[in-house]
Amino acid sequence: MAGRKRVEVLAPAGDFERLEAAVQYGADAVYLGGKEFGMRASPLNFTEEELLRAVDYCHQRGVRVYVTCNILPREEDLAHLPAYLHFLQDAGVDALIVADIGVMMLCRREIPQMELHMSTQTGVVNHLAAAELYHLGVKRVVLARELGLEEIRRIRKNTPPELELEAFVHGAMCMSFSGRCVLSNYLAGRDANRGECAQPCRWNYHLVEEKRPGSFFPIFEDEDGTYILNAKDLCMIEHLDQLAAAGVSSFKIEGRAKSFYYVATVTNAYRCAADLLEQDPAHYHPPGWLVEETRKVSHRQYCTGFYFGRPEDGQYYESGYIRNYDVAAVVEAYEDGMLFCTQRNRFFPGETLEILSPGQPPRPLEVSAIFDADGQPLDAARHPMQPLRIPCEVPLEPGTILRRRQNETFCSGNSSPQNGFSTEIMDLRR
């Protein structure tokens, strides 16, 4: 690690609230999407006006901004692309994330000074592809998620040292190779390769035998069926030293569709972990509280993906995310021993909340009383986004999160089971 450039912590930003959380909680760079050409089609994302504001906000705080242009465009998508590329250049965006070779070459012609990062959608799995992309003008490749550490080492060894390697370290994983999937288009008419994935890999499936139509059989021993295509989430916080030693120069956190609380908590954990790695790379060992932070967000059961070989764990679990914390309130200001907060979820006087501050271990906050905006005492904080006041002896910065532990729950939904990979499904991805 001696002489090696500091490894970047790259956080997702699905809207401006999440962007602020990523920046406040320690991201070196954020990646986000506009209303077009990104792999997360959503009513959120950033309008052109919001994107200009986002770039200004980040640059004032020394944070880089990468914009996704990583759909696989059809002919009808191309008409507005050149003008959009020039807008992004004029906006001061630091880099574009692209997946399509044609889009990459269009960028080289239209905005040749723009830094380009090749998306994981491209499926870079060897040094030949990585080196050729570099010679075509790509500054960074986002490596395919199917790569192991030894493969990454070989790619690093056989590519120009100026080429940056980015790899995912945390978040949801796709069952399809490098995210190139047509299942959503086939089953739901929503093109995953143009940002509209309906996540059918998270759905509950049964088998139907050809000669017994209408008779449904579970694929696994569970009366509720099985989530045969559903993947665990990735968590590499305990192995960042090995990723850095293999040549990874950017730790990427998945989650542009996740909440601001997820972005804040996970970014904070990896920021603290990356700082520890930088301080003493030879003896990297994140403390227990830091690892536990990754468990305090809504998540599926964790794994280490392909980094240490093919996952062998074939266990499956009931549908749902694991969730054990809610955001109670967000601090807006502190004055004369009083926190001025905005309520997010119900809580009561007498409860103990947990303070999540940037760069610090969590610590308790005893809620001795709750007052409304006029200073009137309340027996509960019941109304979302209600202004509140809470006595507190220690000043807290705006944006500090107060969270409340709840009994562990499994939150169901088409896109939220926390099941594990099966060896059979993973073999298909290889």
The pLDDT of residue 229 is: 59
The pLDDT of residue 125 is: 93
The pLDDT of residue 319 is: 52
The pLDDT of residue 216 is: 58
* 313 φ, ψ (degrees, to nearest 5): -75, 115
Q: Which domains does the chain have, with CATH numbers?
A: 8-173+231-303 (3.20.20.70), 177-230+417-429 (no CATH), 321-410 (2.40.30.10)
The pLDDT of residue 189 is: 64
Series of mean pLDDT values for 10-residue runs along the chain (430 residues): 74 96 98 77 78 98 96 86 95 96 96 96 94 98 94 98 97 65 59 58 61 60 51 92 98 94 98 97 96 94 89 52 91 96 96 96 97 96 95 96 80 40 28
**How many other CB atoms are there within 10 angstroms of residue 343's CB atom?**
24
The pLDDT of residue 200 is: 57
The pLDDT of residue 257 is: 87
The pLDDT of residue 420 is: 31
The pLDDT of residue 186 is: 52
The pLDDT of residue 426 is: 30
